[in-house]
Amino acid sequence: MRKKLEALIQQAVVSLKKEGVIAEDINVNIALERTRGAQHGDFATNLAMMLAKSAKMNPRQLAEKLVAALPQDSAVTKVEIAGPGFINFFMDSSAQSDIIKLIHEHGADFGRSQVGAGKKIQVEFVSANPTGPLHVGHGRGAAYGSVIADLLEAVGFTVHREYYVNDAGRQMDILATSIWLRYLEECGEPMRFPDNGYRGDYVGDIARDIFRNAKNEYRRPFELVVEDIPQDEAQGGDKEAHIDALIARAKILLGTAGYRDVFQAGLNNILDDIKNDLLEFGVNYQEWFSEQQLMDDGSVEKALKRLQASGHLYEKDGATWFASSTLGDEKDRVVIRENGQYTYFASDIAYHANKLDRGFDQILDIWGADHHGYIPRVKAAIQALGADASKLKVLLVQFATLYRGEEKVQMSTRSGEFVTLRQLRDEVGKDAARFFYVMRRSEQHMDFDLQLATSKTSENPVYYVQYAHARVCSVLRHLVEKNLPRDIVSGMNALALLTEEHELALLSTLERYPEMLERAALTHEPHQLILYLRELANDFHTYYNAHQFLVDDAKVRDARLNLICAVKQVLANGLQLLNINTPESM
RNA sequence: GCGCUUGUAGCUCAGCUGGAUAGAGCAUCGGCCUUCUAAGCCGAGGGUCGCAGGUUCGAGUCCUGCCAAGCGUACCA
């Protein structure tokens, strides 16, 4: 209906251009918006005000000319000029009720479109280091990313969901060493745990696992472990130097194979846990991409060679630098350290080179907002690799500040004091957790009150939407119980009987679904979908309270049933995109 | 210091490419269950849209300055 109206206005503009009222060369961008209140009709455009200046007319005069030039159409019942020069359109309600037929026809596909035209888009999200279980901060990125991906797919993009596994690097070594030390403890070795080690219970769990399978195979005397090792922080030394020395010692004492065993046990265990966690949270991936793989197959080296060849690398102070400052970054960045090791950024360059090589039309990275300073250098890398910086879009998800009632919850992965995603799911359930996370704009700082979210009973807004769906199902059950017949076709022929205010409001909300979906997807704003569903549910609940559906008049009854079934369908379609259940009863 | 993000009702947040009287939930107060589930509905109160300028027919929205909060500013990941 919107598109139809836009076309009509376009025709009016063209004819005014021919008459010379509007200059030929003016680019007319028709802004047609839905009105907020019924007194302004169904649609309104500010076109006359936009063009008034260039046409050298006052807006109301121009509006009159536009209206006069507008072709007749049966769907438009009235056109009004209002306020400073708005043109308001009143649409025929029988034309509006056609949306019910459309929804019935398309079913689960209603709202889906092809604006993405099959373009390949990669969405990388969560990508938390496999050094421990996911916590509630990762949950927001997981929910947000998976809904973005599903939305993009719904509007016609070919979506590749990916998790970048940081299975190389120092943090993983710290984890492996932490596990080994806990293992020594399990063996009965007297042991001092480093200040900078991973302290979570899961570290001990993995250590016990290893001990159960391998017994004392990896046991070494603790005196040898700490022999000539620099002092830890609590002992008056430097914790970083201490842990690095422990890592080096672990590699020596265990040998390459032994160290790899412990390392792999930790990685596999935690990665399996993360995969399982996300699966249960309704998050699916097409690919788990290993950083170590990039190291092993020479991709990092190759990527740096490409930068070298295009003249973006230089040596200074014994390190190799990427001249990112020539491409918009604040300063240049080290890619190979003085000690010959690649920086994290080096493998990230390789990773993005790999993404580019795979031929995605668009690359979407979803990061925690604390990484925002990283964007310019990655964009610089993209350009240095010969691609357009706009190929990459980075979406930031603000970290949620956790509260338990009034009290702020402090979190630190290292100390092991954090609320895990799994704990949250156990407490509030998948549906409420997903709904809560996606409800807010992602770049908005969010106060996440666990007490509120875990209160199963009341104000979880997800129930409100689900309840609307369940209520429709309940009405349909009653229909059967009362042995009332239902004739869908007859109902479709009687849609003109839907003239109540609440019914018209529902029709207009239903009609908005496809354009809302498109916008939510293209602007990467899943909260728009949530807002919409709450509105639709509200319209329905209001209608439910005001009118009986199972009335004696069969035609009215069938028409109303078709309407509420359309509501049920759209609620289901929306909830499905959010990967939230659609209960038939509550 | 510089950069990014944010500042809207008591609280948590919406506000579509600048548009008509700034909205919702929660909380508070007052109504509605012999009718298809009251996890619902109806109503009331509550706002200098951080502050000050500017742009224009028109600014919560755009520009500038200031204030405040969070994050970032590594040869860590």
Nucleotide nearest to A473 (CA to C1'): B36
Nucleotide nearest to A37 (CA to C1'): B20
Residue A139 inside a domain? The answer is yes
Instruction: Give the separation between CA A19 and CA A545, rounded to whole angstroms.
Output: 53
What pLDDT is stored for residue A454 in this prediction?
A: 66
A467 and A528 share one domain: yes
Among the candidates A345, A375, A397, a domain finishes at: A397
Buried b (16+ CB within 10 A) or exposed e, A527-562: bbbbebbbebbebbeebbeeeebeeeeebbbbbbbb
- Report yes or no: A27 and A36 within 8 Å, Cβ to Cβ: no
A247 and A375 share one domain: no
Closest residue (CA to C1') to nucleotide B13 in the complex: A440
Nucleotide nearest to A534 (CA to C1'): B24
Closest residue (CA to C1') to nucleotide B37 in the complex: A471
- The total of structural domains in chain A comes to 4
Nucleotide nearest to A442 (CA to C1'): B5
Which domain covers residue A390, as residue numbers? 120-165+284-397
Question: Whats the size of chain A, residue-wise?
Answer: 586
Residue A426 inside a domain? The answer is no
Beta bridge partners of A82: A86
Question: Which one-letter amino acid corresponds to residue A63?
Answer: A
In whole angstroms, B41 C1' to A92 CA is 28
Pairing of β A392-397 and β A362-368: parallel
What pLDDT is stored for residue A406 in this prediction?
A: 65
Instruction: Give the separation between CA A47 and CA A24, rounded to whole angstroms.
Output: 16
Chain B bases near protein CB atoms (7 A cut-off) = 3-7, 11-17, 19-21, 24-27, 35-42, 57-58, 70-77
Residue A44: which H helix or E strand, with range?
A: strand A43-45
What pLDDT is stored for residue A224 in this prediction?
A: 95
In whole angstroms, B28 C1' to A293 CA is 59
Q: If you search the block for the tokens 């280091």, which residue do you land on?
A: A129
Instruction: Give the separation between CA A480 and CA A500, rounded to whole angstroms.
Output: 25
Residue A534 inside a domain? The answer is yes
In whole angstroms, B74 C1' to A79 CA is 63
Residue A407 inside a domain? The answer is no
Closest residue (CA to C1') to nucleotide B17 in the complex: A31
A333 and A464 share one domain: no
In whole angstroms, B43 C1' to A426 CA is 39
Among the candidates A251, A280, A309, a domain finishes at: A280
A156 and A179 share one domain: no
What pLDDT is stored for residue A410 in this prediction?
A: 63
A387 and A464 share one domain: no
In whole angstroms, B7 C1' to A37 CA is 29
Among the candidates A232, A247, A280, a domain finishes at: A280
A81 and A12 share one domain: yes
* CATH at residue A516: 1.10.730.10
Q: Which two tokens stand for residue A187?
A: 């063996």
What pLDDT is stored for residue A15 in this prediction?
A: 83
Closest residue (CA to C1') to nucleotide B71 in the complex: A370
In whole angstroms, B18 C1' to A87 CA is 17
A269 and A361 share one domain: no
Average pLDDT for consecutive 10-residue bins of chain A (586 residues)?
A: 80 81 71 76 84 77 85 86 85 85 97 95 95 90 95 97 94 95 95 91 96 96 94 88 94 96 96 97 96 94 96 94 93 94 94 96 93 93 93 88 68 62 88 90 78 65 92 96 95 94 92 93 94 95 95 96 97 97 94
Closest CA to A55 of A97, A85, A98, A100: A85
In whole angstroms, B70 C1' to A368 CA is 13
A176 and A73 share one domain: no
In whole angstroms, B15 C1' to A343 CA is 43
Residues 6+ apart with CB under 8 A from A27: none
A215 and A319 share one domain: no
Nucleotide nearest to A321 (CA to C1'): B75
Q: What is the pLDDT of residues A333-390, one digit of tens each?
A: 999 999 999 999 999 999 999 999 999 999 999 998 889 999 999 999 999 999 999 9
Q: Phi/psi of residue A34, each to 5°?
A: -80, 140
Residue A148 inside a domain? The answer is yes
Residue A408: which H helix or E strand, with range?
A: strand A407-408
A231 and A268 share one domain: yes
Closest CA to A262 of A206, A221, A319: A206
Sheet harboring A446-449: ordered strands across? A407-408, A400-404, A446-449
Nucleotide nearest to A462 (CA to C1'): B39
A161 and A174 share one domain: no
Residue A483 inside a domain? The answer is yes
Residue A434 inside a domain? The answer is no
In whole angstroms, B46 C1' to A318 CA is 65
A32 and A160 share one domain: no
Closest CA to A12 of A67, A90, A89, A49: A67
* CATH at residue A292: 3.40.50.620
- Report yes or no: A130 and A109 within 8 Å, Cβ to Cβ: no
What pLDDT is stored for residue A456 in this prediction?
A: 60
State the complex-level ipTM. 0.95
What pLDDT is stored for residue A405 in this prediction?
A: 65
Residue A96 inside a domain? The answer is no
